[in-house]
Structure 1
Amino acid sequence: MKRQLIALGFALCTAVAAAQDHIKVVYHVNTGVETAAAILSNISNELNASPTDRIVVVTHGPGIDFLLNDAKDSKGREFSGQVSALAGRGVEFKVCNNTLQTRHIDAANLLMETQIVPSGVAEVARLQAREGFVYLKP
């Protein structure tokens, strides 16, 4: 019986260590489309290096612009394909409702991969304080 308990304890420790192997990261984006391509590239690079990471992109202010329908980079390429590909890899894209209201943007103008949160900065704080996310400000 004692050996079984030791074996069970070892198995539980191994399972906990494996579950903690991934990193939870929140990317805080409040800059416009001029930086979005680099940010999306950083996220893709992180997932290539560490595919089990959980990534949440929280946007507010001008940071939401790349998540609007038909948004394009400086070379005229739409962001929708990159956002869709990253969402397919588990990346979450959150948009600040305060920004939508202040800028009079209809939620129907957002890419379908987005989720609206009441406040972008409050969501960043919540993810850090309550869910243990690492903060990145690209």
Structure 2
Amino acid sequence: MKVKTLLLLSLLALAGCGGSSSRSVDTHPGLIRMEAGTPHDMFSPASLTVPAGTTVRWTNGDADAHTVKPDVATAGMDSDTMFPSGLPSGASFEWTVPSGAASGTKYYYHCRFHGAAGDGTVLGTGMAGVVIVR
């Protein structure tokens, strides 16, 4: 009787150790993906709100090269310094929101291949986005 109980408990314990089918998901709080889209390529999300000091990571999930180009000169927020020909598929670019940035500050950017800059106060056209300080 004790052997059967022990065997049953062992089988139940092993059943709880089954493999997981969950995929690895990047939960980086400042993640923006570069994606193919209709009618144009896009940043996803196009608007990201994060606290000051957050590192924002743009990852190219598209086959085309893309860039992160600030609409108004912003220190360090220009992927062309590292990827003059654009970020190739699978590559990432990171920029840290200044730790002293005031809540409500907006950093507009665009892809120089697939978008156009706004005037620094509005979102540009095509493949364009904004990082907003919470």
What TM-score do the two structures reach when normalised by structure 2?
0.27
Q: Which has the higher helix share?
A: 1
Structure having greater relative contact order (Cα 8 Å, sep ≥ 6): 1
Q: Whose radius of gyration is greater, 1 or 2?
A: 2
Q: Which has the higher strand share?
A: 2
What TM-score do the two structures reach when normalised by structure 1?
0.27
